[in-house]
Structure 1
């Protein structure tokens, strides 16, 4: 436990979660019986579902749902047990649709599912050190066809560029309109996707010419932070504990996961990189990278990079941000906002 608390503290940017919200649905006929619910559940547990029937109605059957997905049907008022092993982390909405006397009525409640995984402390080794533009307020970093692309923030100075990371020579650069605060980028299907922070606007460029092809508006009321992709879908952070799944064809957010370390939500998830099926994520203002299960949202590892800060000319405000995986060398490139160096590192458990 001592080791676990130490690892969680490295990440902080977290909010400790208290008792889960399991309040009863506002229904005069039935309520989900949550009297035996713990403050929160883990994915190794199951939840026993039943309903309270204060008016003693004759129940014919009950259909149970979790997050509007049907998980089971019982006759009469038979209790129903549901395993949580395949559930994502975070709050889950429960619903019981009760059928009685030719009628039906819903009862609702909510539980919180937390991670039961103890994160591992990852190790790293510096392979190379390269120059980095100290004026670059780094928001996104990604390799595409052996070339490094970087996006930066701040209104009036936001841009993205592709360049020779060994020398710093810029091949091509696109400057944003001064009304936009640039955020993360990712490249998929020969298109560059770029987010903005609070303007709820995204851009799509041709990856070869960098010509703007489309401007789109977020379909959710969220901020834009980091981005990555798996070759089919794009994944976006919004400054909370959520990582959204975006369909690049429609630019619609189709799903999300919540990032947890034990009982704690990991908020302010920033720059993202998908490496061997795991999200590597900067946590804003923390000199650490969280390694996240991309299906559940559980933090499985923590990479403490605080030692790199001693090697760069930075202030306290110049935070770690920027993760790019080079599949050829199987190494990771990391830097920070206004850092004068970029590091190529290898990572192990």
Structure 2
């Protein structure tokens, strides 16, 4: 009996190995023709799809897919074209399901879709200058009912992220006076904030949790866990969904009730991915975002991730008090009443009200 079982096992193992070898052999039958399919395309550009028949098999038909969605079917091995029209920017997975000699064989190829938009450099004027807490390591800034809400981290200097306490504040933007403050535990580093349905949402940096407060009294209502193991950086909302950055080129779209990350966009300026996106603000259907370590604001199309405009605010840092703990521009708040934007930085003693031309 034992000999019979051993022989059965050997025969099964041999069959499995033969099957794996067969799969490897088939994988070499076909490949995408990279002579006509380049690795990078601009949005709206057409790609030519054709299969290289490496083993001279008789091809009956080919079904092409983009990110698991069927594009088209061709008879034989005819060339076909596909235009990148409604896809979000970033890497795209092409797959061909080739039917040849009574077999279906898959082959794949990855291309990168980049922006076809040339960002415009926008100018601005300073409308007013207001005082700002020089010890506030600004992470999030947002208006709600003419009150300015500010989230801070617990770092008082560039790269320290150790001093003081992270907080959520309600302030008088004209005087800089803090009306109310809630401090986070010492082990939590506060990040971006946004206000939706009279609730303040606040992220933490690496703790994978966020907080929800009543916007009227800053009473903590609940905590939530990130549905993905990502960092928390900036936060904004479009009136329905939350948008969260994680330090990469991604902006995640989050359901504010279930906290599931339902989708994401990749942010591009021309051919380049833009990483380290930080504080966010939703303004007239666009996302305005700080890029960490850059004293500028990028204006992003939330449907595609393409950067459409840049506001260079590097001159503002020269207008604040220079001290050892001063850090980069961070903080964007749109006041719908005045239709102006309020910006500040980490440990800046001033906040600027600007109007973008």
Q: Shorter-chain TM-score: what band? A: 0.7 to 0.9
Gaps (5+ residues) in structure 2? Answer: 1-25, 155-161
Partner of 1:93: 93
CA distance in 2, matches of 1:148, 1:68: 45
Partner residue in 2 for 1:191: 199
Q: CA deviation at 1:44?
A: 3.2
Instruction: Give, in whole Å, the separation in 2 of the partners of 1:140 and 1:331.
Output: 17
Q: How does 1:84-233 map to 2 (within 5 A)?
A: 84-154=84-154, 155=162, 156-233=164-241
**Distance (whole Å) between structure 2 residues aligned to residue 75 and residue 272 of structure 1:** 48
Write the distance in 2 (CA, Å) between the matches of 1:174 and 1:75. Answer: 66
Q: Is the CA contact 1:314–1:338 (under 8 Å) kept in the aligned structure 2?
A: no
Q: Distance in 2 between matches of 1:64 and 1:40?
A: 18
Matched, 1:70 2:70: yes
In structure 1, C-alpha distance between the alignment counterparts of 2:287 and 2:73, rounded to whole Å: 36
Structure ID, larger Rg: 2
1:293-332 equivalence runs, <5 A: 293-315=301-323, 317-332=326-341
Structure 1's 329 and 66: CA in aligned 2 closer, same or farther, altered over 3 A?
A: same
C-alpha RMSD over aligned residues: 1.8
Out of 181-190 and 87-96, give the one that drifted further.
87-96
Q: Match of 1:50?
A: 50
The aligned counterpart of 1:17 is none
Q: Distance in 2 between matches of 1:315 and 1:101?
A: 74
Describe the superposition over 1:272-310 as per-residue Cα deviations: whole angstroms up to 9, x where unpaired.
111111111111111111111221111111101111112
1:37 aligns with 2:37: yes
Q: Show the 5 A alignment for 1:18-29.
A: 27-29=27-29
CA–CA distance in 1 between the matches of 2:200 and 2:167? 13
| Distance across 2 between alignment mates of 1:70 and 1:315 | 58
- Deviating more after overlay: 236-245 vs 312-321: 312-321
Paired residue secondary structure (2:338): coil
2:355 alignment partner in structure 1 = 346
Give the C-alpha shift of residue 71 in structure 1.
Answer: 2.2
Contiguous gaps of at least 5 residues in structure 1: 1-25
TM-score, normalised relative to structure 2: 0.86
Instruction: Using structure 1 for the length normalisation, give the TM-score.
Output: 0.88
Match of 2:265 among 254, 257, 263: 257
Deviations 1:197-253 (A, max 9, x none): 111111222223322222222222211100100001111111111111111121111
Distance 1:249 1:104 in 2: 43
Q: CA deviation at 1:172?
A: 2.0
Moved over 6 A (4+): none
Question: SS state of the match for residue 133, structure 2?
Answer: coil
Q: CA deviation at 1:60?
A: 3.5
What SS does the corresponding residue of 1:287 show, helix, strand or coil? strand
- Structure number with greater CO (CA < 8 Å, separation at least 6) is 1
Deviation of the 1:83 alpha carbon: 0.6
- Name which of structure 1's ranges 60-69 and 263-272 shifts more when overlaid on structure 2: 60-69
**C-alpha separation in 1, matches of 2:103 and 2:211:** 50
What does 1:229-248 align with in structure 2 at a 5 Å threshold? 229-248=237-256
